[in-house]
Amino acid sequence: MRLGNGAATKCLLTLASVVLILASMSWAADNDNGKDQSDIQKRIVKSAEVLNEIMATPDKAIPDKVMDHSKCIAVVPSLIKVAFVFGGQRGKGVVTCRTDKGWSAPAPITITGGSWGLQLGGQATDLVMVVTNDQGMQHLLASKFKLGGDASAAAGPVGRDTAADTDISMRAEVLTYSRARGVFAGIDLTGSVVNQDKDETTLLYGKPIPFADVLSGKIAPPAGSEPFLAAVKKYSTQAREQGEVAKPSPSITASASTHSK
């Protein structure tokens, strides 16, 4: 039996709603079940691996000029895209920002949002966001901002030695990149919202800490953050010209040890 246009549209909308509800339930379960400090530390290590793997292929990596001028770098390993009629994406990662003393301690973040339009299939995607100027950094320090709304965003240029489009692209406050199925490219994340993950911040540092305090360098990096900070330093000018990653303070290390037991 052939469905009319109205019935077909209603059927598609119903199916889309079911998919999004199931995805939301899965997301909630991930948030509520078995969350501990080891999960966050694994995400920090995975973020380092993603950045190292992306930058290891010169002709497909983030341009050196973009990394050299970056103000903040965020990595979201395995951003989940739920796509059926109405696409959506959500993921968890970490971000660090430049300070006078080097790169800041990592701050846990979440990214959520949707892309309207007909899309079929779902995929897990590694995401990298590069904040290119002070204005973009200020939006990030607000602990919540919308890409393409509060902060201008654009798909970033690719290739370690790429120069042709880099100057134009860096007029955007945030450059966004994705890697899916081994393919790395710029991606449009307009409409997505980046937030501080307050729950994971509390788990990582042992107490609630404002987003701006972490990213402005007021907090010492916790134990286990070295792989990510080392990867960021490796691919930025500051890594070659300035100092070492700050050592974890005794209180932070003690807190990490307590939470890991």
118-153, pLDDT tens digit by residue? 333 456 678 899 999 998 999 888 888 788 777 788
pLDDT score for 178:
81
Distances (CA, A) of 243 to 28, 98, 184, 233, 256: 40, 12, 30, 9, 24
Contact yes or no for 71/137 (Cβ under 8 A): yes
Which 8-state DSSP code applies to residue 219?
S
Query: Which of 5-14, 58-67, 239-248 reaches the highest mean pLDDT?
Result: 58-67
Question: pLDDT: is 78 or 116 the higher one?
Answer: 78
State the pTM of this model: 0.72
Mean pLDDT lowest for which of 47-56, 91-100, 244-253?
244-253
Name the token pair of 219. Answer: 């907090």
Q: What is the pLDDT of residue 71?
A: 94
